[in-house]
Chains A and B, each alone.
Chain A
Amino acid sequence: MPEQLLFAAEVTLNGLMAGVMYSLVALGFVLIFKASGIFNYAQGVMALFAALTLVGIQDGQIPFSHLINTIFGTEMHDFGWHVPAFLAILLALGVMILFAIVVEKFILKHLVNQPPIILFMATIGLAYFMEGFGDLMWGSDIKKLDVGLPQGISGVIDETTFDWFGYGFFIDRLDIAATIVAAILVSVLVLFSQYTKQGRAMRAVADDHQAALSVGISLRFIWVLVWSIAGFVALVAGIMWGTKSGVQFSLSLIALKALPVLMLGGFTSIPGAIVGGLIVGVGEKLFEFAIGPMIGGATENWFAYMLALLFLVFRPQGLFGEKIIERV
Chain B
Amino acid sequence: MLYREAGDYKTTYTEDSQTFPIKLDRIGYYSVLIIAFLVVPFVINDYWANAVLVPFLIYAIAVLGLNILVGYCGQLSLGTGGFMAVGAYACYKLMTGFPDLNIFFCVILAGFVTAAVGMLFGLPSLRIKGFYLAVATLAAQFFLVWLFNKVPWFYNYSASGQISSPERTLGGIAITGPHTEAWAKYLFCLVFVFLLAWLARNLTRGNLGRSWMAIRDMDIAAEIIGVNPLKAKLTAFGVSSFFIGVAGALFFAVYLGAAEVGEAFGIQKSFLILFMVIIGGLGSIFGSFAGAAFLVLLPVLLKNVLVGGLGWQTDIAAHLEFVIVGGLIITFLILEPHGLAQLWRIIKEKLRLWPFPH
Contact = CB atoms under 8 A, between A and B. Distances in A.
B32 interface: no
Contacts of B214: none
Most B-side CB within 10 Å, residue of A129, A305, A317: A305
A128 B326 contact: yes
Interface of A: 39, 66-67, 70, 106-107, 110-111, 114, 117-118, 120-122, 124-133, 135-136, 140, 256, 259-260, 263, 267, 295-296, 298-299, 301-302, 305-306, 308-309, 312-313, 316-318, 324, 326-328
Contact of A316 (B132, B142, B150, B224): B132
Interface string B134-146: 1110110111011
A147 to B, nearest CB: 26
Interface string B296-321: 00000000000000001101101111
B282 interface: yes
B320 A263 contact: no
B218 A67 contact: no
Q: Interface residues of A: mostly helix, strand, loop or mixed? A: helix
Given A309-B136, A316-B129, A129 B326 contact: yes
Interface stretch (B41-49, B175-183, B227-235, B329-337): B329-337
B326 A127 contact: yes
Interface in B105-156: 124, 127-129, 131-132, 134-136, 138-139, 141-143, 145-146, 149-150
Interface residues of B, number: 49
B146 A298 contact: yes
Contact of A309 (B124, B150, B275, B325): B124
Contacts of B150: 295-296, 298
Nearest to A296: B150
Given A110-B334, A260-B138, 4 more contacts: A132-B321, A136-B319, A136-B320, A309-B136
A117 B76 CA distance: 10
B334 A128 contact: no
B135 A309 contact: yes
Contacts of A296: 150
A5 to B, nearest CB: 28
Contacts of B127: 312-313, 316
A129 B320 CA distance: 9
Q: Interface residues of B: mostly helix, strand, loop or mixed? A: helix
B146 A299 contact: yes
B326 A126 contact: yes
A107 B135 contact: no
B224 A260 contact: no
Q: Sorted from nearest, which 10 A-B pairs have the closest CB atoms?
A: A132-B322, A129-B326, A128-B326, A125-B329, A302-B142, A305-B139, A263-B135, A132-B323, A125-B330, A302-B143
B138 A126 contact: no
Given A39-B131, A126-B330, A129-B330, A305 B320 contact: no
11 contacts: A122-B330, A125-B325, A126-B326, A129-B330, A133-B322, A136-B319, A259-B135, A263-B134, A301-B142, A302-B145, A313-B124
B329 A128 contact: yes
B229 to A, nearest CB: 12
A129 B327 contact: yes
B68 interface: no
A126 B334 CA distance: 13
